[in-house]
Amino acid sequence: MTPELIDPALRARLRDLRLVPRQAAGAHGLGQHSSRSRGVGLEFAQYRAYAPGDEPRRVDWKLYARSDRYFVRESERDSPLELWLLLDTSASMGQGDEARPGHERLDAARTLAACAMELALRQGDRFGLAALSSQPLAFVNAGSGPRQRDRCLQELLRFRAFGGAPPEKQLLPLWERIAPSSLVLLIGDAFDETLPLLAERLAAARREVIVLQVLTAEERDFPFRGSHRFVDPESGAEVVADAAAARSNYLQQFAQAQQALHTRLAASGIRHAVHYLDEPADKVLRLLFGTHAVTERGESEGT
């Protein structure tokens, strides 16, 4: 039996959330997003001169009667968004903490990704999935519908936290699959330079990017006492310190590092939000996709 990544209570709390890109969506088809593409739609956009092959029903005959020239009405199309979920699956994503025993970063990342897919499915959007680590890239190409959701969920459950950051060469297939104007949700701890750098490069290439950082409650609160050994899960490097003496300095440096990351990403137009393992998944999703978050009209974003 497939484990449930979204429990019924969480699913109920997703009902009023909506994936809303800052930019207009660019895909063709039916969906809930304003698009740059022109054609037959609901809202008038502009007139253009008639061209051979245009359907007669699109000619504005009243304007023809006034001008003796043929003009075609173009409208804004409502087009589906293409959402890409890129999950960090390096060894550091296997870290958990005492605030929620048995629940690791990667578990939280799976649930956040599954929630985003549910929103996309409900809106008729397309979505795809990829795992980022030193292992060969695991992909599910973009698609839509319940079967696509099920394929992605099965792949999510196969992801394992292992290895280090992906080498740049290994990321090349991303550029072939993720089209301009896609919404990219990067989910990981963002401690390695690879994730922020990838986010910046995607944003520079006209992809809309959100970095959803997954952190432990221990990283936020540093609740340790006595002598403590801290081990980097990817490099194996160890630091032994007296927790009480190190706490104040750690918390200051942690806050500074988080602010620096937020400022860096914002400079490239990248949204940044943080999920802690002791918090419900919908808390951070509400900041990003709730009614008070950024809208298609460019209104204010909850942070």
- Written as one string, the DSSP assignment of 215-234 is E-HHHHH----SEEEEE-TT
- Is residue 32 assigned to a domain? no
And the tokens for 129? 């999935």
List the domain range (segments joined by +) for residue 140: 8-25+80-287
Same domain as 277, residue 196? yes
Q: What average pLDDT does the structure give for the chain?
A: 84
pLDDT band (50, 70, 90) for residue 4: confident
Provide the domain count of the chain.
Answer: 2
What sign does the CA torsion over 228, 260, 17, 89 have? negative
pLDDT digits (tens, 9 = 90+) for 85-106: 999 999 999 999 888 888 999 9
pTM over the 0.85 mark: no
Residue 8's pLDDT is what?
93
Beta partners for residue 151, in sequence order: none
- Is residue 30 assigned to a domain? no
pLDDT digits (tens, 9 = 90+) for 16-74: 999 988 764 444 444 455 444 444 444 555 667 766 656 677 788 888 888 888 877 76
Same domain as 234, residue 88? yes
And the tokens for 225? 């006492």
- Is residue 302 assigned to a domain? no
Residue 299's pLDDT is what?
43
And the tokens for 122? 């409900």
- Is residue 125 assigned to a domain? yes
Same domain as 115, residue 54? no
Q: How far apart are CA 279 and CA 13, in angstroms?
A: 14
- Is residue 255 assigned to a domain? yes
Same domain as 57, residue 140? no
Same domain as 141, residue 212? yes
Same domain as 14, residue 115? yes
- How many residues does the structure list for the chain? 303
Same domain as 228, residue 88? yes
Same domain as 46, residue 166? no
Same domain as 93, residue 74? no
- Is residue 189 assigned to a domain? yes
Q: What is the CATH number of the domain that holds 262?
A: 3.40.50.410
Residue 302's pLDDT is what?
42
CB 22 within 8 A of CB 127: no
Same domain as 214, residue 120? yes
Classify strands 126-132 and 138-143 as parallel, antiparallel or unpaired. Answer: antiparallel
Q: Which residues of 194-231 are buried (b: 16+ CB within 10 A; e: fewer)?
A: bbbebbbbbbeeebbbbbbbbbbbbbbebebeeeeeee
- Is residue 260 assigned to a domain? yes
Same domain as 146, residue 247? yes
Which of 52-61, 72-81, 131-140 has the least mean pLDDT? 72-81
Same domain as 281, residue 147? yes
- Is residue 208 assigned to a domain? yes
And the tokens for 7? 């429990």
Residue 79's pLDDT is what?
55
